[in-house]
Structure formats: C-alpha cells, structure tokens
Amino acid sequence: MLKKLKPISRPNSPTIIALSFLIVILLGTILLSLPIASRHQRLNIVDALFTATSATCVTGLVVVDTGRHFTLFGQLVILVLLQVGGLGIMTFSIFFTVLMGKRISMADKLVMQDALHYFELENVGRLIKRILLVTLSIELLGSIPLFLSWRLNLGVGKAAYYALFHSVSAFCNAGFSLFSDSMIPFQHNIMVNLGMISLIILGGLGFVVLMDITRFFLLKLKNKPCRLSLQSKVVLSTSIGLVVAGTGLLWLLEQNSSLVKVTFLSCLFQSVTARTAGFNTLPIGSLSTTSLIIIIILMYIGASPGSTGGGIKTTSFTIFVATLRSMIYDREQVHLFHRTIPRKSIHKVAAIIGLSAFLITAATIALILSEKNQLFGVQRGYPVRILFEVVSAFGTVGLSTGITSQLSIPGRLLTTLIMFIGRIGPLTLALALGRVKPPPAYKYPEGRITVG
C-alpha cells in the first residue's frame, strides 16, 4: 500500500528575513549603547538604534562621526554589522550549519532562494560557500590599493585597519567611513577612487550575477560554449547605462558651479556611489538642486537583486521601461534580450514601484512636518533636502546633504524605520505583515474599466 506523502509547506520567507534583520539590529543597538563603544559621551538608545540600523541595513547615514565618536570596539561592532547585513543573516546561519556538518533543511533552502533570487535549490549550500569565499577575496584584494595609498600618512597598522574597514564598507555598499569628510580628501587620488569604485560595483551586481560572470570567463578560457544568463545581461547593461548617464549629467550640470569644483573622476565616483554606496568625493550639500534630483533618481533605482545594495533594483527599472516600450508599440508581451518577461514579474515590479513611491511620499511629508521647526527648516531647498534624505534611507545609500545629525528624535526614528524597510524591501515587509492566503478555486468574469 502506497503511503501518501505530505506536501512541503513553504516557509514564510519574508517574515523570517525581516525578523533576522530585526534581531541583529537590536543586538547591535545594545552593543553600541555600551560605555565601551564610545570614546567620551555614551551613545543614547535612539542614536544607538539609528547607527545599528544604518550599519545592518548597509545604509551609511550617521548621527555621530564614526571615526571620532566610537572606540575600536564600537567600530568593530559596526564593521561586523556591515558584513553580516551586507551578505544577509541567513547566509551566515546556513554557512555555519554546513560548517558543523549538518544538513540544510528544505525550509532554509526556500528562504535562501527568496533572499538571493537563486532558483536551484540543490546547490544552495555550495552557493553560500562560494559567496563567502568570493566576498572575502574581493574585500582583501580591494583593501590593497587603499592600504598603499594611506600607509605613508597613517602608518602601516592604522592604514591596514582603515583599508580593510573601507573595503568591507564599499563592497557591502554601506558608506560608513572613518574619515570625517568621507572620501572628499581623496578626490584626486586615482588609486583610491578606482579601488572604491571597483568594490562598490562588484558588491552591487549581486552574488548570482558575479558567479555567472565568473563561470562565463572560465568557460571562455577553456574555449567551451558559454553565455550569460538573462539576469546577468539585464543587470550589466542597466548598470553600465546608469553609470554613464549619471556621470555625464553630473559633469554637465556642475561644470559652471561656483560652489563645487568637479572633475570627471569625481563625477564618475559620485555616479557609482549614488547607486547605494553612500561615499562621496563631492560636498553633497553644495550641489545644485538639479544635480540632487539626478542623484535621487540613481538612489531610487539602486543596485541589483541579491546584492548588498538597495533601491527598487536595476532589473525592476529595466522591466518597467520595457513594459512602457511594449505599451507604446501596442505589444501584448514584454521582451528583453529576445526573451519574454513573465506577467508575474511585471506585476511584481508594479507592486514594488507603487509601494516604494507611496512609502517615500508618506515619509517625506511626515519628515517635513516633524522637522519644520528645526534650524535647517528655513534653508533654501528644504523640501528637496528632506526628499533626498528619505530616498537615501530607503535606497540604503547613506548620502546626505548634511541634515542627518540635525534631525529630531521623531525624525531619527522615522528615518530608522525607512532604512529597515528599504533594506528588506517594501514588498517583503508587506508579505511579512500580511496573511498568505491560498489562491481561490474560482475565477470572476472579466470587467472593463477605462484607464489612462
């Protein structure tokens, strides 16, 4: 007699992902609020929560100077939060499960499938090992040009520590810096700029894309047939297009500025880092309003799925543009690189863009109302600066026009919430809070509504 097998219940991945980030944030808050974490005055609980969230969500917005306020212990706590938050908590938990020789449960595989946007369940354990190996290798190699540039001024030991900290922060697209002015002192240092740019781009491509590119070149060297996946083609083409467009626009807009002296290298750096890294070689508060809007758009789009960055993601942006193109040409299907995009993906993109736009609008209005009595409320371009701050928090970027440290307690708590939602994704949060219901066994007749 055949025994009836029970169906595998899919875990509520959004809830697991959201809770894992929340637990790490709370732990980081406790550690950063300890007296041993600060050099002088102990960090209050709101600022500790803000910093822990910013680090775990790899954002980079700060209310205190990281290099001056925190002791070595506090800085190392932030460094660990950056690494864990950048790679994802589930990545580390599954890695240690494999390391101890235990089997990965089907539930864990399904959660990682959702977190990394990876579709081959059988190879999840192998993928985790490769992710950690590639990450550590890139971060160590990326720290070399930084160390060589800083060793004379900082000394060997301090330069090595600073190089490693900034390499991890750059690859994780975090934006935390031990220098008070971020990368502005190294605006003309080609080695520092190119090293940071490389780390930021590699971290923002996504681990699955990095693996696909590595496999592609290895097969090429062996003269074997190979091709990049559709995901890799979309990510690479969109990333290149955004970097080129951002660099060109910033260069044109700030050429005649009397406040900011720009170079092509600084525009390139700012175009790359605006996509979720948060470092800056230009004084953001001195840029023109038009340039700030360009950066806001880049921050909103963000990095790629399964990467260390945030935003609505490059793939969502490209599918959205492709959908508009199909509508203009009155086509039933959406095509990219001679492939048809599933309607489910199009619906998901629409939900992501709609939810994120609603969140940013609501948060901007709330922040304007909560901060209207602050000192910077009378400054020129105040609403744009608030919008910039909100999009930076949502896209887990970390760029700021200089108003973060002036936010009130309600403003800091609101920005903390935006950073958290931005890191896990508005759609993920909605699914985590909502109830997952099975599809109905019936279908309603179609109804016509005039749109447009």
Is pLDDT of 7 > 80?
Answer: no
Average of per-residue pLDDT across 370-399: 78
- DSSP string over 379-423: STTHHHHHHHHHHHHHTT----SS-GGG--HHHHHHHHHHHHHHH
Is pLDDT of 243 > 80?
Answer: yes
φ, ψ of residue 336 in degrees (nearest 5)? -140, 125
> Which pLDDT band, with edges at 50, 70 and 90, does 381 fall under?
low
User: For 257-291, what is each residue's pLDDT tens digit?
Assistant: 777 788 899 999 999 999 888 899 999 988 988 99
Reading the block at residue 446, the tokens are 């179609």
Burial of 48 (0-12, 13-18, 19+ CB in 10 A): buried
The predicted pLDDT at position 51 comes to 96
User: For 10-34, what is each residue's pLDDT tens digit?
Assistant: 455 566 677 788 888 999 999 999 9
* 201 vs 13: which has the higher pLDDT: 201
User: For 57-107, what is each residue's pLDDT tens digit?
Assistant: 888 899 999 999 999 999 999 999 998 888 765 554 554 444 445 555 544
Q: What distance in Å separates the CA atoms of residue 135 and residue 142, rounded to the nearest whole number?
A: 10
Reading the block at residue 27, the tokens are 């732990």
Q: Three-class SS string for 255-315?
A: CCCCCCCCCHHHHHHHHHHCCCCCCCCCCHHHCCHHHHHHHHHHHHHCCCCCCCCCCCCHH
Question: Please, what's the b/e burial string for 263-293 (b: 16 or more CB within 10 A of its CB; e: otherwise)?
Answer: eebbbbbbbbbbbbbbbbbbebbebbeebbb
Bridge pairing between strands 335-336 and 339-340: antiparallel
Is pLDDT of 110 > 60?
Answer: no
The predicted pLDDT at position 123 comes to 61
Is pLDDT of 437 > 70?
Answer: no
Q: Are 298 and 274 in contact (CB under 8 A)?
A: yes
* 327 vs 427: which has the higher pLDDT: 327
Helix (H) / strand (E) element for 126: namely helix 124-154
Is pLDDT of 2 > 80?
Answer: no
The predicted pLDDT at position 40 comes to 86
Average of per-residue pLDDT across 166-177: 92
Q: Which of 205, 206, 204, 200 is nearest to 279 (CA)?
A: 200
The predicted pLDDT at position 340 comes to 93
Mean pLDDT value across the chain: 83
Position of tokens 């599809």? Answer: 439
User: For 325-377, what is each residue's pLDDT tens digit?
Assistant: 999 988 889 999 989 999 988 998 998 899 999 999 999 999 988 887 664 54
Position of tokens 């940013």? Answer: 360
Q: Which of 85, 67, 79 is nearest to 25 (CA)?
A: 85
The predicted pLDDT at position 86 comes to 81
- Distance, CA of 260 to chain centre: 27
**Amino acid letter, residue 412:** R
Q: Are 279 and 198 in contact (CB under 8 A)?
A: no
Q: What distance in Å separates the CA atoms of residue 6 and residue 16, rounded to the nearest whole number?
A: 23
